[in-house]
Amino acid sequence: MSDQVRQFTVQHDDDGVRLDRWFKRHLPQVGFATISRWARTGQIRVDGKRADPADRLAAGQVLRVPPGGAAPERKAAPRRELNEEQIERAEAMVLTQDRAAIVLNKPPGLATQGGTGTKEHVDGLLDAFASEGPRPRLVHRLDKDTSGVLLIARTPGSAAFFSKRFSGRSARKIYWALIVGVPSIEDGLIELPLAKQPGTGGEKMMVDESEHGQAARTRYRVVDRAGNRAAWVELQPLTGRTHQLRVHMAAIGHPIVGDGKYGGQDAFLTGSISRKMHLHARRLIIDHPDGAPLDVTAPLPEHFAASMAQLGFDEADGADLPEAPKVPEREAKKQAAKAHAKQYRKERRGERRGRKSGERGPAGKSTRTAAKPGARKPAGRGPAPKTPGKR
């Protein structure tokens, strides 16, 4: 432990994080009770001011930590020993990297994470990038047979930053796929809820429109077609359910080429078209903790590029899928409030008509009693008296 006061500058990937969470990330040996005591006695300062453990930090602020708050020298966490071939394989996947992220082009057939019987996976190769500092970590996943852009966070702070963008749906993911047949609607939105298929151990999903299904939305656009045999589509998942793109395309009768799991034998084209799955995470656009968004495109794997050529498709035609128009949150709330008020007024008019019809006597005459001349109006009628001082 240090016996001197330390100062730390809050980095971009810690922007918005709680003070106690900052300690957990950077000085994990300092317990919450100690942090609370330091804050209570004014020993922790942010830009010279007293701070509370629940206060949120902003990038660029200077944090003063009293003696005892410096990280001690600790033994590095054990690393997985990789051979030269594994290190070369990991480095060959890199599309771009910086202090916050490593972006890989994951090849088809390589799992993102380990599991029963899965020894070779991306997560196991990340030690190739961990010679110094913390071990990089996954923040999202791709299916084993899906290729393309895979984002890896270098630090705990950037992992939290990127994870928040994925969970908040602000990250824009664009996929390319070859599908069997051609959809009758060439630019559409698939909205079919999904759930795990019983008896598959969670390894397979299905469309489930009961109360158990989770909402799932996929936007698609046909880029080109090979007669009625196959089509090249651009896909944008607006939600992040397991196997969402694969289930949705199979559900509308156009399975992804090579996806026997959801399309059965109908998912394979005759001739020399590869039987591998043709689903590729083509592009990722996501906010970056240092400011400018990260925008990365991954080239197609060999089998996908060969199939494109055989079907007569030109990669240059793959313009980005246009973003769906967004209604500002405030405007959306205003429209919802107006609709609710309109419905309420409509229901009230119906109630008033009902009361009027029920207030007629047997002879059809009104049963209301007319107010006598000079009588006071019932309370609540007429304009309300003005209150001095209110605007």
Residue pLDDT, tens place only, 259-309 = 999 999 999 998 899 999 999 999 999 999 888 899 999 999 999 999 999
Looking at domain 86-317, its CATH class is alpha beta
At residue 264, what are phi and psi to the nearest 5 degrees?
A: 60, -150
pLDDT > 70: what percent of the chain? 77
**How high is the mean pLDDT of the chain?**
82
**Higher per-residue confidence, 368 vs 218:** 218
First to last CA, the chain: 60
What confidence score (pLDDT) does residue 168 get?
85
Calculate the alpha carbon distances from 179 to 64, 110, 226, 257, 310 in Å: 58, 22, 10, 5, 14
How far, in Å, CA of 170 to CA of 216, rounded? 16
Q: Which positions are catalytic?
A: 143
Helix (H), strand (E) at residue 263: helix 260-263
Q: Indicate the CATH number of 6-65 among 3.10.290.10, 3.30.1490.100, 3.40.50.300, 3.40.50.410.
A: 3.10.290.10
When pLDDT is cut at 50, 70 and 90, the band that residue 326 belongs to is: low
Checking if the pLDDT of 70 tops 70, the result is: no
Per-residue pLDDT tens digits for 6-65: 888 888 778 888 888 888 777 877 888 888 888 888 889 999 899 998 899 888 898 988
For 239-256, what is each residue's pLDDT tens digit?
999 999 999 999 999 999
| Its pTM surpasses 0.75 | no
- The confidence score (pLDDT) of residue 372 equals 42
Q: What pLDDT does 347 receive?
A: 65
Q: In angstroms, rounded to a whole number, what is the distance separating the alpha carbons of residues 227 and 324?
A: 28
Of 60 and 388, the one with more pLDDT: 60
Q: Supply the pLDDT for residue 218.
A: 97
Q: What CA–CA distance (Å, rounded) separates 284 from 280?
A: 11
Residues facing 286 on adjacent strands: 294
Nearest to 112 by CA among 103, 128, 123: 123
**DSSP code of residue 147:** E
> Which carries the bigger pLDDT value, residue 169 or residue 337?
169
Domain limits of the chain? Answer: 6-65, 86-317
More confident residue, 73 or 115: 115
pLDDT at 345 (0 to 100): 59
